[in-house]
């Protein structure tokens, strides 16, 4: 169980980029809005894309699909590369931070982190399992304090830490030829099949559309990408 509730990060690229840079991510990588999921809109996103972030409403349909998906994978199994960095989400409303950590941690071959809280956390998290990584981040004052500071910024009214939050952040990354959904609230990473670094955005968009199709009357979906800065 979470020991603390945080104020959630806003799905605002300016806020998320300040957060990343505060933790040691160089400014040549940035979170950008994905304005639409059709081919033309995706073509506007700067390349290369290292990760895709989806913010979506936590609905009964999502929960039902999550349980069904987990049961099916436990029954049939799935192939998961040992190189994937995955961690559990312990703190309430920390899903934005967890999604950003997942995005960076699985691209350290491309992102040259400077000395800082993110690099320190990832160095310490090597060799730990997903649960231990979640506990480690919970205790990382640098990351948690950065979250608290940036959660107060943004364009919308800041919710309280104890307010009910109906949205959740997850990340999609490429690793060893496969597209992985990384959700700190799920039991394990989800392998969505083959992808490449060049097709990550398009393949992630297909999965994002599946999320949207489960709640077709809800418009509260936001897609972002961690990509090369303009």
Check residue 165 and give its pLDDT. 53
Q: Is residue 47 over pLDDT 80?
A: yes
What mean pLDDT is predicted for residues 161-190? 88
Task: Return the bridge partners of 182, or none.
Answer: 171
Check residue 154 and give its pLDDT. 63
Tokens of 66: 């999550």
Catalytic-residue membership of 117: no
- Each residue of 186-209: pLDDT tens digit? 999 999 999 999 999 999 999 999
Check residue 51 and give its pLDDT. 98
Q: Is residue 230 over pLDDT 80?
A: no
| CATH code given to domain 13-228 | 3.40.532.10
The CA-based dihedral angle spanning residues 45, 148, 127, 178, taken in that order and rounded to the nearest 10 degrees: -20
Check residue 153 and give its pLDDT. 85
Q: Is residue 134 over pLDDT 90?
A: yes
Check residue 5 and give its pLDDT. 75
Q: What is the DSSP string of the chain?
A: --S-BPPPPPS-HHHHHHHHHHTT--TTEEEEE---SSHHHHHTS-S-EEEEEEEEE--HHHHHHHHHHHHHHHHH-----TT-------SBT-HHHHHHHHHHHTTTTTS-PPSSHHHHHHHHHTT--HHHHHHHHHT-HHHHHHHHHHTT-SSSPPPPTTS---EEEEEEEEETTEEEEE-TTSSS-EEEEE--TTTHHHHHHHHHHHHHHHSTT----EEEEEEE--
Catalytic-residue membership of 95: yes
pTM for the model:
0.93
Distance (Å, whole) CA 8 – CA 112 = 27
Give the rounded percent of residues in the chain with a pLDDT score beyond 90. 88
Q: What is the DSSP string of 176-209?
A: TTEEEEE-TTSSS-EEEEE--TTTHHHHHHHHHH
Distance (Å, whole) CA 69 – CA 67 = 5
Identify the band that residue 162 occupies on the pLDDT scale cut at 50, 70 and 90: very low
Tokens of 136: 């480690």
Give the rounded percent of residues in the chain with a pLDDT score beyond 70. 93
Return the residue matching tokens 């083959």. 194
Check residue 163 and give its pLDDT. 43
CB 171 within 8 A of CB 124: no
Identify the band that residue 15 occupies on the pLDDT scale cut at 50, 70 and 90: very high
Listed by start position, the domains of the chain span 13-228
Q: Phi first, then psi: give them for residue 34, nearest 5 degrees.
A: -105, 110
Q: Across all residues in the chain, what is the average pLDDT?
A: 93
CB 111 within 8 A of CB 30: no
- Check 102, 117, 147, 168 and give the catalytic one: 168
What mean pLDDT is predicted for residues 64-74? 97
- Angle, CA of 73, 74 and 78, to the nearest 5°: 45
- Check 95, 102, 147, 208 and give the catalytic one: 95
Q: Is residue 157 over pLDDT 50?
A: no
Q: Is residue 160 over pLDDT 60?
A: no
Return the residue matching tokens 């409303």. 93
Q: How many CA atoms lie within 13 A of 142 on its CB side?
A: 14
Distance (Å, whole) CA 11 – CA 170 = 12
Q: Is residue 161 over pLDDT 60?
A: no
Q: Is residue 156 over pLDDT 60?
A: no
Identify the band that residue 166 occupies on the pLDDT scale cut at 50, 70 and 90: confident
């Amino acid at each position: 169980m979470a020991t603390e509730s945080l104020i959630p990060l806003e799905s605002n690229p300016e806020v998320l980029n300040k957060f990343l840079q505060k933790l040691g991510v160089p400014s040549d990588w940035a979170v950008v809005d994905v304005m639409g999921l059709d081919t033309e809109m995706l073509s506007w996103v700067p390349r290369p894309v290292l990760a895709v972030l989806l913010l979506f409403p936590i609905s009964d349909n999502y929960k039902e699909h999550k349980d069904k998906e987990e049961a099916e994978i436990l029954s049939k199994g799935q192939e998961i590369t040992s190189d994937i960095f995955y961690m559990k989400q312990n703190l309430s409303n920390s899903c934005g931070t967890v999604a950003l950590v997942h995005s960076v941690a699985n691209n350290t071959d491309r992102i040259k982190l400077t000395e800082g809280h993110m690099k320190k956390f990832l160095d310490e998290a090597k060799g730990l399992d997903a649960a231990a990584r979640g506990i480690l981040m919970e205790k990382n004052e640098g990351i948690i304090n950065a979250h608290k500071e940036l959660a107060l910024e943004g364009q919308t009214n800041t919710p309280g830490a104890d307010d009910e939050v109906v949205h959740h952040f997850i990340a999609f990354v490429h690793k060893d030829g496969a597209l992985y959904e990384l959700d700190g609230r799920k039991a394990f990473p989800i392998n969505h099949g083959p992808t490449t670094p060049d097709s990550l955005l398009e393949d992630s968009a297909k999965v994002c559309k599946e999320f949207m199709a489960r709640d077709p009357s809800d418009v509260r979906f936001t897609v972002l990408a961690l990509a090369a800065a303009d």
